[in-house]
Structure formats: structure tokens, C-alpha cells
Amino acid sequence: MTNTSNPMPAFGDFVNVGIQFMKTERASKIIVSSQVFENYIIDNLKLSTEAKSLYYKIYSKGGKLYCYEYLISLLKEIFNAMELINNTYLPLRTKYNEKPIKQKFKDINETITVELFKKLDPNNLTILNLFCNEIALSDREKNSNLTILFYRTVFLKDLRHVHEISYPNKPDPLLTHIINQCQAMFDYITNGSPLINPLKKAIKSEENDDLRKQLVNNIQGLGRLTGSIEKNKNRALRNLLQDKIDNLTPEQFEKFSVNLLAHVLRAERPNTEINIEHTGKTADGGIDGKIVIKNTLSEEVHIIQCKRYAKTVPVANVREFMGILKKYKHGYFITNSDFTKGCYDHEQEEANLTLINGDKMIDYMINHRYGVKEIEVKPIFKIDESCFN
């Protein structure tokens, strides 16, 4: 790894480690959840406690997010633009086994410098992809200039903020390059020049590539035909899953939650023995389930409390659970609804407490294929008129 005086490893190391993961057999055979990918990056970069604790304030929404999570998210966007993965949606799917992709990345095994980055992305499609992702869902027909200015402010402010916090002693050269290129792209667009011409110029030698075909569309079309469709499909699925969860009986919800959590942990710790127990009403102190994680030399007991609830879970319930938690390695409080702000404040303070609300449950279900399954789409046939002439 590159040695720097900064708490965070060089972003070029993030990119290199991510590439090595996408080249492994593991990446081509398993469902690559966000957590699996993130754990691989963290473990191989050997992120220090200081690096993992760095956070920034999200400009558009308030709140906080860890810097390393932002950098890993940026990494997925870059791999999508470079066609190393199919898309940034979950599960991630590597394309490394495809011949042209393998030829492009097979000899890459070093910190990604600005020069190497340019060779991997000669047409600057990473920047175009970042730009399109930032504004694809905006309605530019109503107020295009204001919308782009807003997204330029939000996106670049977050990116710069993460850069400054992660690399306070010496600017990271690769992130600096990406920021400067993004600024140049946003400036080009907001100065009134049409997007379609530079896009066509960038893709003229790659007419058959799906990503470049998307980029050649105008931004309005890209937003409506890709982002909006996927967003609506995803929303419909999430609504159906939420209804299923809400209609479970309290006992069914407990069993479902325990099994879901065990499924997630098994996917993220494939070489670890994980056993579950649904205790329900028989447990004292309100413990609804236990997960026993056995490693070679140790055994961890994680406890679970479940609350199928129509309202927001109050902080008193979480405080009561925290009192029980002192005897155990980790605790999960799971609800189909949500928690109050006070509950989340306690989660920030307690390292061995995890709160899982309805939205996070559904994320786990979709990302880890629990309670949902992929359906193979059959081809659609149409008449080929040329055969009848």
C-alpha cells in the first residue's frame, strides 16, 4: 500500500484493491452484497480505527456518513463506468471474465495513479457517468440550469468535504484529478453548451457498448428511461415486501427476523459456523432470539429483540434492551417500522448495538435474496419481415 501522512490510504489503493476483488473467482460465483464488497476493501486495506471513524456531514440531507463508505460508493461508480461491473445496483456482478475486460485489467496489480487511471478510462467516461448519475432523476425540462447548479453544488461539496477530511495533510492525487474533471464537466454544461456533442465524440469508437449508448442519450431521456424505471420497479417491490412484513403475526415476525439476520451473517461470514435459536416468550428479559457465531478459538452470542409495531419504537424500549445487552457480544433490535431519534443516538454511542428498521430489513432481503428470488426472463419473439419478402 502507498504510505502517506494521511489517516486514509490513498484512493488509488482503494481502486486497486477493488479491482483485485473483481478479478477473483469469489466475485464471479457469489452474490456480492454491499457488505461483502465493503468488508473485502476494509480488510485488505487494513483500515485503521482512525480511518474508519472519519465522517462527514451530508450537504443535501444533513446527518453524517463515514468517509470510507463514501469512497467505496465512489469506487463502485468508477467500476461501472469502466465496465468492470454490470451496474452499481446490488448485487454487484463482475464482468472480469469477459475477454476485452480481462485484457484491460489482467495486468493491473498496483496503486492506481492518475496516469494509470487515464489509461483505464481514456475517454473520461467515469466523469460522464458520475455526472449522469447525479442529475439523471432530476426534471431538467422545468428548470434545467437551476437543477444542474444545485447538483453541482451538492455533489462537489460532498466530494470535496470527504477529500479534505480523509487526506488533511496531503491532497490525494487521484481524488484531486476526479474532482477537477467533475468541476470541468459541470462548468461545461452550465455554460450552455449542449451535452450531446461531447458525448458523441467520446463514444464514437464504441458504438456497441451499453453504457455509452445510455450516455449518448440526452439527460432527460437517460433519467426517465433508466433511473425512473428502476426506481419505480424497486419502490413497488419494497412496498410489497413491507406489506408482507407488516401482516406477520408477532411470533411470525420474530422467527422471520431471526432467520433473516442469520441468512445475512452467513452470507457475509461464509467460513463461520452460525446457529440460531428463536426463544420468543420463553426468554427472560425480552430476548426473542439468539445467534451463536463459532470461530476456531471463540464463540460469540448475539441477542435479538423484535418488535412488530405500527408506531415508531420509543427510546425506552431500546434503553431496556441495552440493559440486557451488557452480558452479550452484540445485540440487534429489529422492527418493521422505525425508531425515534433518541434510539439512533444510543446506537451511535453503543458499539455493540445495531438497530434494524423496516427499510433496512427490506435492503437485507433484496441484497441477500431472502424472501425474494430472481426470475429468468424469457426472450420475446417478433416477426422478421425480411424473411417473407
pLDDT tens digits, one per residue of 315-331: 999 999 999 998 888 99
Average pLDDT, the chain: 78
Spatial CA neighbour of 96 closest among 110, 82, 109 = 82
Checking if the pLDDT of 260 tops 50, the result is yes
Checking if the pLDDT of 207 tops 50, the result is no
CB atoms within 10 A of CB 113: 17
In the prediction, which pLDDT does 195 show?
Answer: 44
8-state DSSP, 10: P
Please, what is the angle between helix 34-45 and helix 67-81, to 10°? 110
DSSP reduced 3-state for 29: helix
The residue whose grid cell reads 426506481 is 231
Tell me which range, 134-138, 183-187, 275-279, 380-384, is most confidently predicted by mean pLDDT.
275-279
Q: pTM for this one?
A: 0.51
Checking if the pLDDT of 91 tops 90, the result is no
Do 308 and 298 meet the contact criterion of CB atoms below 8 Å apart? no
Q: Which residue(s) pair with 335 in the sheet?
A: 307
3-state secondary structure 148-169: HHHHHHHHHHHHHHHHHHHCCC
The predicted model gives 243-248 an average pLDDT of 90
Q: What percent of the chain has pLDDT over 90?
A: 33
Do 320 and 286 meet the contact criterion of CB atoms below 8 Å apart? yes
pLDDT in tens, 108-158: 999 999 999 999 988 777 777 776 665 543 433 344 443 445 455 566 788
Q: Report CA torsion sign: 168, 170, 175, 180.
A: positive
What is the H or E stretch that residue 34 is in? helix 34-45
In the prediction, which pLDDT does 28 show?
Answer: 78
Give the least confident one: 140-144, 170-174, 315-319, 373-377: 140-144
16: cell is 486497486
d(CA 12, CA 117): 9
Tell me which range, 121-130, 197-206, 208-217, is most confidently predicted by mean pLDDT.
121-130
250-367 CATH: 3.40.1350.10
Amino acid letter, 86 = N
Give the least confident one: 55-69, 95-109, 179-193, 348-362: 179-193
Q: Give the domain ranges of the chain.
A: 11-229, 250-367
Spatial CA neighbour of 32 closest among 70, 83, 88, 71 = 88
Tell me which range, 4-8, 51-55, 157-161, 223-227, is most confidently predicted by mean pLDDT.
51-55
